[in-house]
Structure 1
Amino acid sequence: MATSSGTWGYRDRFGDRFGRTYFRRFGPGVVSSVGAGTYLGDPTDAVDDRYREALSTALANGVNLVDTASNYRCGRSERVVGEALADSGVDRESVVVASKAGFLPFDGERPADPSRYVRETFVDTGLVDPADLANGSHTIAPEFLDAMLDRSLEATGLETLDCYYVHNPETQLAVRDRDAVYDRLEAAFETLEARRAAGDVGVYGVASWEAFRVPADHDAHLDLAAVLARAERAAETVGAGDRAGEDGDGGDGDGVAHGFRAVQLPFNVRMADAFTVAAHDADADDGPVSALEFCHREGLSVFASASIGQGELAREGAIPDDVAARLAGDTPAQRALNFARSAPAVTAALVGCGSVDHVRENVAAGTFDPLGASAFDAVFE
């Protein structure tokens, strides 16, 4: 797993090549504030090859954060991440690898009959109770998360995943009420606390699409304060508090007893709801706060997905001129990344790495300084 000495040593290899705060604290050490995402692309050998080369390039040139999921590209992305890391020559202890589970994954390709595949692979085997499913494809039941974590470890070939997310829990709101989803999250967190105690996971979190950036009255809303409270209760149940002060997260003297340390959500210059929508109970006199403000106050790391809008913000003119003028970077993609990296609580902006050329462009964004806090706030005035 990633370690303090490994990640700091990785940072030191690059000297002053990168701009201010390019490497940021996470877990026991530091991560690059540009991370390699593996979501996009067809589940084919040709795309695997491109990803493998692009990830190796990223790891060699200043990116020590890789994000994937058990269902990305029908499970191929996790496998390619493990292969690229093994072949890169970069020490495992230098790299933070994150994955996630929640959606039922295919195995290498989309089956001709997805419904039959789900039934035979997950339901008939007893791995998934149909009553736990939302939209026929999503569950965060403890038994499923346990099995998917094992699958992720096997696919990547790693002994430990540095961060493991519960993937899009708001999907469950389609079939059950909000309190029931919080209950299911607590049970999921108990599972991940137990796996953290076993050394299979460094820390954990929630990766969402809508849950944390929509208003409180939206059907997909989940309150970060309630989610965090459930993590605290899960840690108490599993006995994680007894481990506070030991090595690893919560063992660096900060007194954190639970392993809930990361939130992944979409954030970019055109999708800035996580900064502008006050929807989370901060237990403060000034009322609810935005997702980013909540995470900033609670010391949670935010990993911004869709940081260049899945490529849309890489086009000339896609970023409003008045905002683009404030951002450093030679290309629209670099300016978009630097906007995401400038937001409070954002530890890293995740961006796809489907080609070597894109990787080099994205990594170069880190040679420019992000906006300071006042300059970032001014964008919204």
Structure 2
Amino acid sequence: MRATPEGTRRFRDRQPIHRHANYREGCDQLWLSSIGLGTYLGDADDATDALYEAAFDEALERGCNVFDCAINYRYQRSERILGRWLGRAIQEGRANRDEIVIATKGGFVPFDGAPPPDPRTWVSQKFLDTGLAKAHEFAARYQHCIAPAYLETMIRWSLHNLGVETIDIYYLHNPETQSIAISAETFRARMLDAIETLELSVERGFINSYGLATWTGFRSLTSDPAYLSLTEMVSLATEVAGQKHNLRYLQLPYNLFMTEAFAFENQQVGESFMSAIAAANELGLTVMISAPLMQGRLAHPIMPELEEVITGLQSDAQRAIQFVRSSPGVATALIGMKQTAHVRENLALIDVPPLDGETIRGMYPQS
């Protein structure tokens, strides 16, 4: 089982009619809540697991059907608690698997529940000695790898952690971690191999689609070693699998302080330069936003003038989220939430219409 167009539409249709505008249809016809729940922050302990489990319950009840992980988040504990919660919610009849969109990521080395005493030895035993990757295929001091056998193993581990047959969205996690350490030619070859592995995983039913989750890659100057061209990434997917490739999602940070994804025209599509969000839309990818609250820093009063533009809301956090999820081209704003009070506050926006695109554009300086 996996998320399906029919199931996610059913989830949307079950919500009160005034909420329907807060669900967006992705490029793969999945209906996505405009606010999703992320699982990056928190200690690797049972207490935090319990907080997340309660937050998942609250989010589901309030109309969220997008849940985002990475295998390295909290040393695999975020995936495991999400999987445990999902299984319980389905068993109790509070959720249907085909209604819930589960996303995770692979690339960074995941330790097992806690950091090992000697990380380098752990990596050697798990990946080098077993032949899953070669030493030169790692980057960032053995913290990152996208070699085919390594990726296949990460997908298998994530499937087990999440307790699902199919991962709905699987992201290559910060591939620019590789690009800054190797030549452009070597990076291209590694990305081709990684994409081929992901396409094969789609064929096998392990993942439904894949994407790129980045931090700096699509927001950088074109001269920056970390810069990624979205057109080139789509071209690589097309080279591997033709026009019906399964590269369908882009995740990147965007918020009131980090506006490059929407405002910085560093991506070339055809003859035109445009922002990463616009380029993704032009190339047929669905956009998920990370860090809409800048890891909580935008949940506090820092822009009093915002109340004059984004009216009718109760908190700075709500205004910051409303800005992001209302920006043209954005499908879902992913918010890290493990406190049920924060879930209630932030997901109150599900009952509020998004702003129109012209209001958002009007907040940017006009050239």
TM-score by length of 2: 0.94
Question: C-alpha deviations, 1:216-236, integer Å up to 9, x for none?
Answer: 112210111101100111113
CA distance in 2, matches of 1:267, 1:200: 29
Residue deviations 1:109-143, cap 9 Å, x none? 11122222112222222222111010121011111
2:324 is aligned with 1:337 = no
- Structure 1 residues 372, 321: closer, same or farther in 2, change over 3 A? same
- Alignment coverage as a number of residue pairs: 357
Aligned position for 2:192:
186
Secondary structure at the residue paired with 1:281?
A: strand
Shift of 1:173: 2.1
Moved more, 257-266 or 24-33: 24-33
**1:307–1:350 Cα contact (<8 Å) kept:** yes
Match of 2:274 among 289, 300, 303: 289
CA distance in structure 2 between the aligned counterparts of 1:229 and 1:325, rounded to whole angstroms = 43
Distance 1:101 1:148 in 2: 6
Counterpart position of 2:25: 25
Q: Is the 8 A contact 1:97 1:162 kept in 2?
A: yes
The residue that corresponds to 1:371 in the other structure is 355
Residue in 1 that maps onto 2:245: 258
SS in 1 for 2:289: strand
Q: Which residue of 2 aligns with 1:235?
A: 241
Deviations along 1:254-302, one digit per CA (max 9) or x if unpaired, are xx61101100000011111111211111112xx3211011012122111
8 A contact 1:190–1:234 mirrored in 2: yes
Question: Counterpart in 2 of 1:348?
Answer: 332
Structure 1 CA distance for aligned equivalents of residues 131 and 147 of structure 2: 12
CA distance in 1: counterparts of 2:326 and 2:135, whole angstroms = 43
How far, CA to CA, are the matches of 2:189 and 2:202 in structure 1?
Answer: 20
| 2:42 matched residue in structure 1 | 41
Residue 326 in structure 1 maps to residue 309 in structure 2: yes
Residue 150 in structure 1 maps to residue 156 in structure 2? yes
| Corresponding position: 1:308 with 2:313 | no
Cα distance in structure 2, aligned partners of 1:270 and 1:363: 22
Cα RMSD (Å): 1.3
Q: Secondary structure at the match of 2:17?
A: coil
CA distance in 2, matches of 1:115, 1:377: 48
Matches within 5 A, 1:55-94: 55-88=56-89, 89-94=94-99
- Aligned partner of 1:48: which letter? D
Q: Residue 209 of structure 2 corresponds to which residue in structure 1?
A: 203
Structure 2 counterpart of 1:179, one-letter code: E
Displacement of 1:174:
3.0
Measured against aligned partners, the alpha-carbon deviations of 1:164-222 in whole angstroms (never above 9, x if no partner) come to 00000000023202332222112111111111111111110100000001111122101
2:132 counterpart (106, 122, 127): 127
Q: Is the 8 A contact 1:56 1:85 kept in 2?
A: no
* Residue 102 (str. 1) matches residue 107 (str. 2): yes
Distance between the aligned counterparts of 2:116 and 2:10, measured in 1? Answer: 44
CA distance in 1, matches of 2:266, 2:189: 20
1:325-378 alpha-carbon deviations (Å, 9 max, x no partner): 222421111111111111222110000121111111111122222221111111
| Percent of aligned positions that are identical | 38
Does residue 221 (structure 1) correspond to residue 204 (structure 2)? The answer is no
> 2-side partners of 1:176 and 1:340: how far apart?
34
* Paired residues of 1:263 and 1:303 also in contact (CA < 8 A): yes
Letter in 2 for 1:30: W
SS in 2 for 1:338: helix
- Any stretches of 5+ residues in structure 2 without a counterpart? none
**Contact 2:144–2:177 (CA under 8 A) maintained in structure 1:** yes
Alpha-carbon contact 1:56-1:87 (below 8 Å) kept: no
Match of 1:359 among 326, 329, 343: 343
Q: Deviations over 1:299-321 (max 9, x none)?
A: 211100001110000012x2x23
In 2, the alpha carbon distance for the partners of 1:225 and 1:74 equals 33
Quote the Cα distance in structure 1 between the aligned partners of 2:100 and 2:314: 27
- Match of residue 252 from structure 1: none
Distance 1:338 1:149 in 2: 33
For residue 166 of structure 1, give the secondary structure of its aligned residue in structure 2. Answer: strand
Q: Which moved more, 1:9-18 or 1:36-45?
A: 9-18
Displacement after TM superposition at 1:17 (Å) = 4.6
Q: What is the CA–CA distance in structure 1 between the aligned matches of 2:4 and 2:125, rounded to whole Å?
A: 40
Which range moved further: 171-180 or 192-201?
171-180
Question: Contact 1:6 / 1:93 at 8 angstroms: preserved in 2?
Answer: yes
User: Separation in 1 of the partners of 2:206 and 2:350?
Assistant: 31
User: Distance between the aligned counterparts of 1:337 and 1:183, measured in 2?
Assistant: 38
SS of residue in 2 equivalent to 1:103: coil
CA deviations over 1:7-52 (Å, ceiling 9, x no partner): 111111112252x631000223301010010000111111011111
Instruction: Give distance in 1, aligned partners of 2:50 and 2:185.
Output: 44
